[in-house]
Amino acid sequence: MTARLFDRAWLLSDSPQSRTQAAWGRRYRLWRDFRANRPALIGFVTVMALLLCAIFAPLLATHDPVAQNLGQRLQPPSAAHWLGTDELGRDVYSRLLYGARITLGMVLAVVALVAPVGLAIGCIAGYYRGIADVVLMRVTDVFLAFPRLILALAFVAAIKPGMTSAVIAIALTTWPPYARLARAETLTIRDADYIAAVRMAGASPGRIILRHIMPLCLGSLIVRVTLDMSSIIIFAASLGFLGMGAQAPSPEWGTMIATARRFLLDQWWVPLIPGIAILVASLAFNMMGDGLRDALDPKQG
């Protein structure tokens, strides 16, 4: 089986012999389209590199990310400290690596909270129509009408500034577009003949939604999630910068900018290096997302 995955003729066969072959053939074509897109590939590789950095942070770090050394504060990049040191003499390079864990962790947590909820709400509203649709979409509209950052700020301040509340706040303001998207997709699917066929075969609404509608909404949802990841990164960093995200000794990138801000004029690299890390991460996700959208969904150009 594994050997076959490297057999191009098997993958690209016009008349696949099995479901598995068809599925893998489709995935291979997708990957081929995606790979041909230079920026998308760069984005993908960068995201993978970031993930590896986050996973292997303890191995790659040269110093303890929280160890202070006041004799060595605000050093420029050198052989001992590749990206210099911050205001408490902590190694910026090592902090960035651990910060990648926090940033990517927050992004994953938000997506894990938001995507299923948005998908479920959208599919239910779209499938049942009527009163469920009206109520659910009204709630969605209310949340869409909020200025996101401000709602999140108020929410975090009310609970307690910190990473968990930042994740919840971001999730709270991120789900409505997913619900809208899933609903729109569901509306186009629900009246299709094969759904009618499944229904006549006796499938319950729950089964139809879970097994026959949701899987078809996944494609556009994944694209949207990937494109959203960069805005989640920026969102988390902005909360951190305003003092409402991860709290101070934590090497969260936005928090690092905030604490090092006052050294901008003399030791500019201290606040700007974490900023560049945020920029790279968010660019990478955007480039990957654009590529995915082109490959999965050519009509949306």
Give me the residues that bind another protein (CB under 8 A), please.
138, 141-142, 145-151, 153-155, 157-160, 230, 233-234, 237-238, 241-244, 254, 257-258, 261, 264-265, 268, 271-272, 275-276, 278-279, 282-283, 286-287, 301
**In angstroms, rounded to a whole number, what is the distance separating the alpha carbons of residues 256 and 282?**
17
Q: Closest separation between CB of residue 203 and another protein, Å?
A: 36
For another protein, the closer CB: 60 or 283: 283
Q: Closest separation between CB of residue 268 and another protein, Å?
A: 5
- CB 236 within 8 Å of CB 254: yes
CB atoms within 10 A of CB 211: 11
Q: Measuring CA to CA, which residue among 155, 157, 143, 161 is closest to residue 254?
A: 161
Q: Closest separation between CB of residue 25 and another protein, Å?
A: 31
For another protein, the closer CB: 180 or 190: 180
Cα dihedral value 216, 203, 184, 28, nearest 10? 0
Q: Closest separation between CB of residue 112 and another protein, Å?
A: 23
Q: Closest separation between CB of residue 238 and another protein, Å?
A: 5
For another protein, the closer CB: 174 or 209: 174
User: For the range 44-49, what are the long-range contacts, defined as Cβ-Cβ under 8 Å and sequence gap of 24 or more?
Assistant: 44/284, 44/288, 44/291, 46/280, 46/281, 46/283, 46/284, 46/287, 46/288, 47/281, 47/284, 47/285, 47/288
Strand partners, 91: 85
Would you state the structure tokens that stand for residue 264, as one six-digit string?
């901008």
3-state secondary structure of 73: coil
For another protein, the closer CB: 169 or 195: 169
For another protein, the closer CB: 123 or 174: 174
**In angstroms, rounded to a whole number, what is the distance separating the alpha carbons of residues 85 and 65?**
10
Measured CA to CA in angstroms, residue 284 lies from 5, 78, 152 at distances of 28, 27, 25
Q: Closest separation between CB of residue 150 and another protein, Å?
A: 5
Q: Closest separation between CB of residue 82 and another protein, Å?
A: 20
For another protein, the closer CB: 25 or 275: 275
- Whose structure tokens read 């997506």? 111
Q: Closest separation between CB of residue 249 and another protein, Å?
A: 19
For another protein, the closer CB: 111 or 257: 257
For another protein, the closer CB: 57 or 239: 239
Going by the DSSP 8-state scheme, the letter that residue 86 receives in this structure is -
